[in-house]
A and B are shown apart, each in its own frame.
Chain A
Amino acid sequence: MLSGQIALVTGASRGIGAAVALELGKQGATVIGTATTASGAEQISVALQQGGVKGEGVALDVNNAAQVEEVLKAIGEKHGTVSILVNNAGITRDTLLMRMSEDDWDAVMSTNLKSVFRLSQAVLRPMMKARQGRIISISSVVGHMGNAGQANYAAAKAGMSGFTKSLAREVGSRGITVNCVAPGFIDTDMTRALSEDQRNGLVQLVPVGRFGDVQDIAAAVAFLASPAAGYITGETLHVNGGMYMA
């Protein structure tokens, strides 16, 4: 389904990003996954290889503009130009706004939102030339519902949605679609940090009655990346077991 495509997935060493990278690879894409450290990048290379997927892990700090440019250039020379970008890299710095420092705000905005601007801009030119491309950003149900203690994270995730709609309008005529996938509560390191009580409480909010699996998100991303989704753009696909219905 995606053979001949070159996919770039940020934050691919674990959790949702790792699952997305493998799934796109299984659909036939060559996958480049990024991690902030060299050991994380190595881990991605191994995971891709074990999954029988073409591609590799590379070290990239999405906050470093010069490095983004370097890595994109290297990918272009080695694999070809990126035709599918998945903006997945993200961090949390949860705390109530009353106690939130400017650093907590800036770090989350930069890694979660500014990186989307930076990476999208970096891949856009070759996509415009090729008259095809897919930009998919992993947002969050929290960007639509809000969540106490996550004003910074929710703002960044909601920002993705506005960015996505605007860029979708700009480049729609060039065969490039721009969408978000908004996960609900997914079973990852991020949510395993919650207490048993918290987790049980959260499951009560989900009509489907369970936390999501990373594979649920990977499947949604693979769909939006596929030719079958060519008429869907500027959209947010909610994958949350029904806990929030847009």
Chain B
Amino acid sequence: MSDIEQRVKKIVTEQLGANEADVKNTSSFVDDLGADSLDTVELVMALEEEFDCEIPDEEAEKITTVQQAIDYVNAHVK
């Protein structure tokens, strides 16, 4: 598992209070991990903090799974 993948999963686990085992790359925040709209906002804010970046709203809307979050960070964070 890459470093970024690990960090993203750690944040998702903490932020959504999920079991580590349930947080898979394919997991959807809302459908699989039980996030509500406020959770997803908090999650994006936590990712911004962790990776020291700003995720615009229109991009944030498209991040709905763990893999999409990893892909976003890989593509946008140096």
Q: Tell me the A residues contacting B by CB distance below 8 Å.
A: 125, 128, 170-171, 173-174
Among residues of B, the one whose C-beta sits closest to the C-beta of A171 is: B38
Interface status of B20 (Cβ within 8 A of chain A): no
CA distance A128 to B42 in the complex (A): 8
A-B contact pairs, 8 of them (CB 8 A): A125-B45, A128-B38, A128-B42, A170-B38, A171-B38, A173-B36, A173-B38, A174-B38
Among residues of B, the one whose C-beta sits closest to the C-beta of A125 is: B45
A-B contact count (CB 8 A): 8
CA distance A170 to B36 in the complex (A): 11
CA distance A134 to B42 in the complex (A): 19
Among residues of B, the one whose C-beta sits closest to the C-beta of A128 is: B42
Q: A170-B38, A174-B38 are in contact. List 6 more A-B contacts (CB 8 A).
A: A125-B45, A128-B38, A128-B42, A171-B38, A173-B36, A173-B38
Q: Which of B36-64 contact A (CB under 8 A)?
A: 36, 38, 42, 45
Among residues of A, the one whose C-beta sits closest to the C-beta of B37 is: A170
Q: How close is B50's CB to chain A, nearest CB, in angstroms?
A: 14
Q: How close is A128's CB to chain B, nearest CB, in angstroms?
A: 6
CA distance A174 to B37 in the complex (A): 12
